[in-house]
Amino acid sequence: MVRRVYGHLGQVRHRAEEVEYRIEAFEDKLQGRLAALRGAV
């Protein structure tokens, strides 16, 4: 049972060379700040 429930935790996942943050994923939370940044450009 333990292997069935927790067995997936030992699997190796792909890791990128560089960390990426996609601003679109946070756009709804950062609307005011993004608008200010876009206006400053």
Residue of 13, 33, 14 whose CA lies nearest to 23 = 33
Measured in degrees and rounded to the nearest 5, phi and psi for residue 22 equal: -90, 110
pLDDT band at 16 (very low <50, low <70, confident <90, very high): confident
- In the chain, where do the E strands start and end? none
pLDDT at 31: 83
> Residue for token digits 């756009």?
27
pTM across the whole model: 0.31
